[in-house]
Amino acid sequence: MASEKHYKLKKLVKELKEKKGRHTELVSLYVPAGFNLNEIGTLISNEIALTQNVKSKTVRKNVISALIKIQQHLKLYKKTPENGLAIFCGNVSEKEGDSDIELWLLEPPDPVKVKLYWCDQKFEVEPLEEMMKETDIYGLVVLDRSEATFAILKGKKMKMVKNLDSIVPGKTRAGGQSAARYGRIREGMLNDFLKEIWRSYKKIFSDEEIKGVIVGGPGPIKEKFVEGHVSENLKKKIIGMKDTGYTGEGGLNELLNRSEDLLKEAKISKEKQIVKKFLEELQTDSPKSTYGIEEVRKALGMGAVKIVLISEDLEWEEVEYLCDCGFGEKKFVKMSEKKNTKCPKCGKPMKIIGEMDVIEAFEELAKETGAETEIISRDSSEGHQFYLMGGIGAILRFSIN
The CATH fold of domain 2-132: 3.30.960
- Contacts of residue 294, Cβ cutoff 8 Å, sequence gap at least 6: none
Q: Tell me, what amino acid is at 146?
A: S
Residue 91 in 3-state DSSP? strand
Do the first three CATH levels of 137-265 and 272-396 match, i.e. the same topology?
Answer: no
Reported residue count of the chain is 401
Q: CATH number of the domain at 272-396, please?
A: 3.30.1330.30
Residue 207 in 3-state DSSP? coil
CATH of 137-265, one of 3.90.930.60, 3.30.420.60, 3.40.190.10, 3.40.50.300: 3.30.420.60
Q: pLDDT per position in the chain (401 positions), as tens?
A: 446 777 888 889 999 999 999 889 999 999 998 999 999 999 999 999 999 999 999 999 999 999 999 999 999 999 999 999 999 999 998 888 788 999 999 999 889 999 999 999 999 999 999 888 777 899 999 999 999 999 999 887 899 999 999 877 666 555 555 767 767 777 888 999 999 999 999 999 998 789 899 999 999 999 999 999 999 999 999 999 999 999 999 999 999 999 988 887 677 788 888 999 999 999 999 999 999 999 999 999 999 999 999 998 888 999 999 999 999 999 999 888 888 889 999 999 999 999 998 998 999 999 999 999 999 988 788 888 999 999 999 999 999 87
Q: With a threshold of 0.85, does the pTM exceed it? A: no
Contact between 256 and 158 (Cβ < 8 Å)? yes
Radius of gyration of the chain (CA): 28
Among residues 287, 304, 283, 316, the alpha carbon closest in space to that of 387 is found at 316
Domain ranges in the chain are 2-132, 137-265, 272-396
Strand positions, DSSP E, 79-194? 85-91, 101-106, 116-120, 137-143, 147-154, 157-165
Residue 25 in 3-state DSSP? coil
